Amino acid sequence: MIQDETVSMPNRRTTTIDNAERVHNELLSQTAAVRQAFEQQVNTSANIPTRREPETLRLEDQPLAEDQQALLAEFERRRRARQIHVSTDDVEVKANLRQLREPICLFGEGPAERRERLRNLISRLSDDEIAQKLRKKEEDDKRIEDKKEEVTWYHEGSDELQIARYWIAQYSLPRAKERIQKLKEYVAVPEVYRTAKIQDLYRRLRAISLHCSQVGDNRPLSYCEFSPNDQMVAVSSWSGLCKIWTVPDCKHVRTLRGHIVNACCISWHPQSTLTQDSGMINLASSSFDGSVKLWNLESDEPIAEIEGHAPFRVSKVKFHPSGRFLATACYDHSWRLWDLETHEEILHQEGHSKAVHDITFQCDGSLSATAGMDAYGRVWDLRTGRCIMFLEGHLKPILSIDFSPNGYHIATGSEDNLCKIWDLRQIKNAYSIAAHQNLVSTVKFQRTEGHYLVTVSYDNTIKLWMHPVWSALYSSTGHEQKIMSADLSLDGRWIATASYDRTLKIWSPEQIS
């Protein structure tokens, strides 16, 4: 009974094998069908060219090439490093590292490691990169040196200097107030009348002519300056003599004998020939050997001498507008201020990196300006001792400097053949005049109003320039050789020039007031 109810179950393994064989046979048949279809398609399109697969470079080959190139470069660097000779002097090694703008010493580094670092550094740089680093180092050093030249040094002054500064302040402030009042009155005049007056002045200046010529000495003349009353002119010479001539007939008045070498400059006391006693100090002169001599109008011999400059040349001497002080420009890179009442040096001012060639005072007496052979000019406040303006722009030494009567314009003449106009109000270079074909030896403003500027040069010419447009007003070649100096009379009637050809010439504009 039990055997009749028994059901036979299929073998599971046998069923799985049968299914696998059936799937395999189906795949083979499908593959054969696909292959047959592909062969038929190839046979039908045998004449049609097939596109060729582009050849590609395996990516794993590229890193291998870069590694090889870097390895070759490293071998080449090591070969160069072995051929580089580095000094065994540790000081020189540090200097070379500094030139290459690298640290001269690392923490824990000894001389041997420093030499090896320098060798490796040079081996990694090309010749062009090394030259560029050295060039940049030279430019930085030059920039630092130029900045050092611009530094102004101040020193503690004496009690006498403090007293003099107070005195100058009390003297200059009323004069400044008076100057500003005159400028206000001038501006109040209608512009039509002002323009007409200036145009009439320019018309007369264009008719300037040579009035007289006089052989001043047997050696070249170095400087000339009119007396405050405009009736005499003093001239210094390379023979060491200083002579005084009358104006306008150029008759000899007196010869001042005292310098044994070339005389550089001679200057009048502001009150000489006016209120100053003829037996007192009326003139001051300087020479190449550093001697400064003081003169009166009664003797041919100096009445006093200022010492302290030798052996340096004193190129210019200038009286302060008050007449109490005398400034000297010296070739020891400084200028000095002397108190003629106490006969003492109260100020020894440095500030130029080369010789100081010229010095001048503002009409108020509060400011002074110096011209240096370092191609820079400086404006100094005598009341405080500070340099209030730095005149930078000339390419070569400045030989002459002068204040305008308006108190805020300054003219400079240089070896670069240029004349530059500076404005104290804006603290900048207002205009540059391509004045001459050779160095500009002297620049002078009109003494009363500053409506025109006179320049003379080593190109043997004298020129006049209009203010404020600075266009040429007059030009003449009256000397046979270079003109050393020039000056204008206070009344504007005369212009004097002293030349290397040993002649003194007086020029006369027609009836200038």
In 77-147 the beta strands, taken as DSSP E runs, fall at none
pLDDT grade for 1, boundaries at 50, 70 and 90: very low
Res 3 pLDDT > 60: no
Percent residues over pLDDT 70 in the chain: 85
Q: What is the pLDDT of residue 54?
A: 47
For residues 155 and 235, the model is more confident at: 235
pLDDT grade for 339, boundaries at 50, 70 and 90: very high
Q: What is the pLDDT of residue 139?
A: 75
pLDDT grade for 153, boundaries at 50, 70 and 90: low
Q: What is the pLDDT of residues 193-209, one digit of tens each?
A: 999 999 999 999 999 99
pLDDT grade for 156, boundaries at 50, 70 and 90: confident
Amino acid residing at 381: D
pLDDT grade for 149, boundaries at 50, 70 and 90: low
Res 39 pLDDT > 80: no
pLDDT grade for 369, boundaries at 50, 70 and 90: very high
Res 45 pLDDT > 70: no
Q: What is the pLDDT of residues 426-467, one digit of tens each?
A: 999 999 999 999 999 999 999 999 999 999 999 999 999 999
Long-range contacts of the stretch 177-182 (C-beta < 8 A, 24+): 179/363, 179/364, 179/406, 179/407
Token duo for residue 18 = 């049968």
Q: What is the pLDDT of residue 27?
A: 67
Token duo for residue 507 = 């020029």
Q: Which CATH number fits domain 159-509: 2.130.10.10, 3.90.180.10, 3.40.1440.10, 2.60.40.10?
A: 2.130.10.10
For residues 413 and 99, the model is more confident at: 413
Average pLDDT score over the chain: 86
Q: What is the pLDDT of residue 41?
A: 62
CA separation for the pair 221, 360 (Å, rounded):
21
Burial 305-338 (b: 16+ CB within 10 A, else e): ebeebeebbbbbbbbbbebbbbbbbbbbbbbbbb
Between 130-139, 208-217, 360-369, the lowest mean confidence (pLDDT) is in 130-139
pTM, rounded to two decimals:
0.71
Between 125-134, 251-260, 284-293, 396-405, the lowest mean confidence (pLDDT) is in 125-134
Res 72 pLDDT > 60: yes
Closest CA to 401 of 413, 409, 389, 387: 413
Res 216 pLDDT > 90: yes
Between 72-76, 118-122, 144-148, 287-291, the lowest mean confidence (pLDDT) is in 144-148
pLDDT grade for 21, boundaries at 50, 70 and 90: low
Between 47-61, 110-124, 255-269, 314-328, the lowest mean confidence (pLDDT) is in 47-61
pLDDT grade for 138, boundaries at 50, 70 and 90: confident
Q: What is the largest CA-CA distance in the chain?
A: 177
CA separation for the pair 452, 404 (Å, rounded):
10
Res 7 pLDDT > 70: no
pLDDT grade for 68, boundaries at 50, 70 and 90: confident
Q: Where are the domains of the chain?
A: 159-509
